[in-house]
A and B are shown apart, each in its own frame.
Chain A
Amino acid sequence: MTQFLNFLGHMEGNKVFKQSKWPKTLIFEKSTPGRIGYQVPELSSEEEKVLEKAKRTISSDLLRENSPNLPEVSELEVVRHFTRLSQMTYGVDSGFYPLGSCTMKYNPKICDTAASMIDAQNIHPYQPEDTIQGSLQIMYELAKWLAELSGMAGVTLQPAAGAHGEYTGIMILRKYHESQNNLAIKNEIIVPDSAHGTNPATVSMCGFKTIVIPSNNDGCVDIDALRSSVTNKTAGMMLTNPNTLGIFEPNIKEITDIIHDVDGLMYYDGANFNAIMGKVRPGDMGFDIVHFNIHKTFATPHGGGGPGAGPVGVVSHLIPFLPVPSVAYNSTSDFYYLNYNHKQTIGKVRSYFGNFSILLRAYTYILRLGQTGLTRVSEMANLNANYMKAQCARIDGFSVPYGENSSCMHEFVLSAKKLYKETEISALDISKYLLDNGLHPPTVYFPLIVPEALMIEPTETEPKEIIDDFIQVIRNISKLAYSGKKEDIQNAPINTSVGRIDDVKAARDPIISYRMLKKQKKN
Chain B
Amino acid sequence: MSYKVDDSCKYYKEHQWVRVEDDGTCLIGISDFAQQSLKDVVMVELPEVGDTVTQGEVFTSVESVKAVSDVFSPISGEIAEVNEDLEDAPENVNEDPFGSWLVRVKPSNLDADLANLMSPAEYENFCA
Contacts and interface: CB of A to CB of B under 8 A. Distances in A.
A507 B1 contact: no
Interface residues of A, number: 12
Nearest to A422: B1
A508 B90 contact: yes
A504 interface: yes
A65 B79 CA distance: 52
B1 to A, nearest CB: 5
B106 to A, nearest CB: 28
Contacts of A504: 40, 42, 65, 91
Given A504-B40, A508-B90, A448 B67 contact: yes
Contacts of B1: 420-421, 424
A420 B39 CA distance: 13
Q: At the interface, is chain B mostly helix, strand, loop or mixed?
A: loop
Contacts, number: 24
Contacts of B66: 445, 448
Nearest to B41: A504
B110 to A, nearest CB: 28
A507 B90 CA distance: 12
A507 B42 contact: yes
A83 B91 CA distance: 39
B65 A503 contact: yes
Interface in B50-90: 63, 65-67, 69, 90
B42 A451 contact: no
Interface in A89-111: none
Q: At the interface, is chain A mostly helix, strand, loop or mixed?
A: helix
Interface string A418-453: 001100100010000000000000000110100100
A508 B90 CA distance: 9
A195 to B, nearest CB: 13
B37 interface: yes
A492 to B, nearest CB: 17
Interface in A388-423: 420-421
Contacts of A421: 1
Interface in A491-519: 503-504, 507-508
A318 to B, nearest CB: 32
B101 to A, nearest CB: 21
A451 B37 contact: yes
A75 B39 CA distance: 45
Nearest to B94: A504
Contacts of A424: 1
A445 B42 contact: no
Interface in B6-58: 37, 39-40, 42-43
Nearest to B88: A508
B100 to A, nearest CB: 16
A506 to B, nearest CB: 9
A428 B66 CA distance: 10
Nearest to A421: B1
Contacts of B42: 504, 507-508
A386 to B, nearest CB: 28
Contacts of B37: 451
A424 B36 CA distance: 12
Contacts of B65: 503-504, 507
Nearest to A212: B70
A397 to B, nearest CB: 13
When A and B form their complex, which 3 residue pairs have the shortest distance between CB atoms, in order from nearest?
A507-B42, A504-B40, A445-B66
Interface of B: 1, 37, 39-40, 42-43, 63, 65-67, 69, 90-91
8 contacts: A424-B1, A428-B39, A448-B66, A507-B43, A507-B63, A508-B42, A508-B43, A508-B90
Given A421-B1, A428-B39, A504-B42, 4 more contacts: A424-B1, A448-B69, A504-B65, A504-B91
